[in-house]
């Protein structure tokens, strides 16, 4: 029998300890629930796939300061030389690198007439040639790649064809196919770009952007004294290729600088570093709070055992079994835990709403307060069971003689 009434009577006679433990549980539930939700949200963000072959693709910067060279022909020779190196799968110039934290972005205009025209969501913009898809390792799921003769060299304003990510196509044209659709780089009718292909996934550079999965590849090879090059190579060949690429390019023309070889997987680690740090700190805080709460539960039980030794002995002498003594302490602490959990859950929801409005976090899901309370019940059982078993083993003769 649970004997709720005598348990409540005992708690009411000695209020200070239970009240302090109740407050501790309320705070633990409120903080742990929201911290766990934030940890889960950060881990989900960090686990998003970029769509690229991250362990194979790396970028580097090429800066030419020789004013006498023909940049266009020089870059073409450089890319051909890189593609010919052992271990290289493909290479291309690019305007930006996925997950790098910097690059190009833009919005476009779509519609069948000026009256129905609308602006698209913001999207990352990659400028590249027919080798860009293979270099990045992205999957073409609809339409086609650029033809070689479609790729132009020079200004971004010359773009005529585009390959879009599935996320951008869905956000812009819904369930309609994006193939053959036209989007405009300016106002309606200005600088039309025909969509010829759709890739399954290609993320942009900014991991905190709501439109991270929106991207467009345009058929332009940029020519600048500062060139960013993408290379896809066999896994584990970066160290070797770093030296070979530098030697090959400087052998052709020494008046330039080759630097900053970085895998996309390394870009990922860098841009998600703050998210990882936040998840780590919050995890440590959750563990510490649960540890403190469990110690508080165990401490209160041990204190009550010392204080109620005679009472326990008397009950044992009157025929109470060991499981009755254990259940008494378990139920007593379950009551505190459940009451504190319910109040703490309500506080957690209110705290989640404040975090949502101040820090633009998603709404706290109710599963987190519920799971936290369930976890505390398990923790209560573990923290109470050993001291309670010790109390149940007290001999009635010893207990009644000790006070």
Which of 16, 29, 2 lies closest to 339 in space, CA to CA? Answer: 29
Going from N- to C-terminal start, the domains of the chain cover 4-47+273-401, 66-254
With 0-12 / 13-18 / 19 or more C-beta atoms within 10 angstroms meaning exposed / middle / buried, residue 214 is: buried
Backbone φ, ψ for residue 221 (5° rounding): -100, 115
CB–CB of 327/392 below 8 Å?
no
User: Can you spell out the DSSP letters for 7-26?
Assistant: HHHHHHHS-HHHHHHHHHHH
pLDDT digit string (tens) for 225-249? Answer: 888 999 999 998 898 999 999 999 9
Q: How far, in Å, CA of 356 to CA of 361, rounded?
A: 4
> How is residue 248 written in tokens?
């090959």
pTM of the model: 0.79
- Per the DSSP assignment, residues forming a β-bridge with 126 are 217
CB–CB of 104/124 below 8 Å?
yes
Task: Give the CA count within 13 Å in the CB-facing half-sphere of 376.
Answer: 37
Which of 202, 214, 229 lies closest to 106 in space, CA to CA? Answer: 214
Q: Output the CA–CA distances (angstroms, integers) from residue 109 to 175, 190, 191, 219, in the order listed.
A: 18, 9, 10, 18
Cβ-defined contacts of 224-227 (< 8 Å, 24+): 224/71, 225/63, 225/64, 225/65, 225/71, 226/61, 226/62, 226/63, 227/61, 227/62, 227/63, 227/64, 227/75, 227/93
Q: Output the CA–CA distances (angstroms, integers) from residue 282 to 296, 362, 371, in the order listed.
A: 21, 17, 17
Q: How far, in Å, CA of 140 to CA of 400, rounded?
A: 81
Q: How far, in Å, CA of 3 to CA of 331, rounded?
A: 9
pLDDT digit string (tens) for 281-300? Answer: 999 999 998 888 888 877 87
CB–CB of 199/140 below 8 Å?
yes
Quickly list H helices, 237-272. 238-252, 264-271
Q: What is the pLDDT along the chain (403 residues), one digit of tens a residue?
A: 456 766 666 666 667 777 888 888 888 888 899 889 999 989 988 999 999 999 999 999 988 887 778 888 888 999 999 999 999 999 999 999 999 988 889 999 998 888 888 999 999 999 999 999 999 999 999 999 999 999 998 888 889 999 999 999 999 999 999 999 999 987 777 889 999 999 999 999 999 888 999 999 999 998 888 889 999 999 988 989 999 999 999 888 888 888 889 999 999 999 999 999 999 999 999 999 888 888 887 787 777 777 766 666 666 666 667 777 777 778 888 888 888 888 888 888 888 888 777 766 778 888 888 898 888 888 888 888 887 777 777 666 665 555 4
Q: Where on the phi/psi map is residue 61: left (φ > 0), alpha (ψ -120 to 50), or beta?
A: beta
CB atoms within 10 A of CB 242: 15
Quickly list H helices, 137-227. 166-173
> How is residue 377 written in tokens?
């019940």
With 0-12 / 13-18 / 19 or more C-beta atoms within 10 angstroms meaning exposed / middle / buried, residue 223 is: middle
Name the helix (H) or strand (E) containing 229.
strand 226-233
């Amino acid at each position: 029998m649970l004997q709720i009434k005598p348990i409540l009577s005992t708690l009411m006679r000695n209020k200070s300890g239970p009240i302090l433990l109740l407050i501790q549980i309320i705070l633990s539930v409120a903080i742990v629930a929201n911290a766990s939700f934030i940890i889960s949200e950060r881990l989900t963000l960090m686990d998003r796939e970029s769509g690229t072959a991250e362990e194979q693709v790396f970028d580097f910067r090429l800066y030419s300061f020789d004013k006498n060279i023909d940049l266009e022909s020089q870059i073409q020779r450089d890319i051909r030389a890189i593609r010919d190196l052992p271990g290289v799968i493909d290479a291309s110039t690019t305007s930006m690198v996925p997950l790098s934290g910097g690059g190009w972005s833009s919005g476009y205009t779509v519609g069948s007439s000026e009256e129905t025209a609308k602006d698209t969501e913001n999207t990352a913009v990659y400028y590249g040639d027919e080798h860009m898809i293979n270099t990045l390792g992205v999957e073409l799921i609809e339409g086609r790649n650029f033809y070689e003769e479609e790729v132009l060299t020079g200004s971004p304003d010359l773009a005529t064809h585009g390959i879009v990510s599935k996320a951008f196509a869905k956000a812009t044209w819904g369930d309609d196919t994006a193939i053959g659709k036209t989007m405009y780089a300016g106002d309606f009718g200005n600088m039309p770009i025909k969509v010829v292909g759709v890739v399954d996934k290609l993320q942009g550079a900014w991991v905190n952007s709501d439109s991270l999965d929106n991207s467009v590849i345009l058929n332009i090879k940029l020519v600048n004294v500062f060139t960013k090059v993408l290379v896809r190579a066999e896994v584990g060949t970066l160290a070797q290729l770093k030296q070979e690429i530098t030697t090959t390019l400087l052998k052709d023309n020494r008046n330039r600088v080759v630097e900053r070889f970085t895998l996309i997987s390394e870009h990922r680690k860098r841009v998600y570093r703050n998210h990882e740090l936040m998840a780590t700190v919050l995890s440590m805080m959750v563990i510490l709070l649960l540890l403190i709460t469990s110690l508080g539960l165990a401490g209160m039980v041990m204190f009550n055992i010392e204080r109620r030794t005679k009472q326990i002995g008397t009950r044992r002498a009157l025929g109470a079994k060991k499981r009755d003594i254990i259940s008494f302490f378990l139920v007593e602490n379950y009551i505190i835990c459940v009451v504190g959990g319910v109040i703490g859950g309500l506080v957690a929801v209110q705290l989640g709403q404040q975090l949502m409005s101040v820090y633009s976090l998603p709404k706290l899901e109710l599963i987190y307060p519920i799971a936290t309370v369930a976890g505390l019940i398990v923790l209560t059982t573990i923290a109470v069971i050993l001291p309670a078993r010790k109390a149940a083993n007290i001999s009635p003769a010893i207990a009644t003689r000790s006070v």
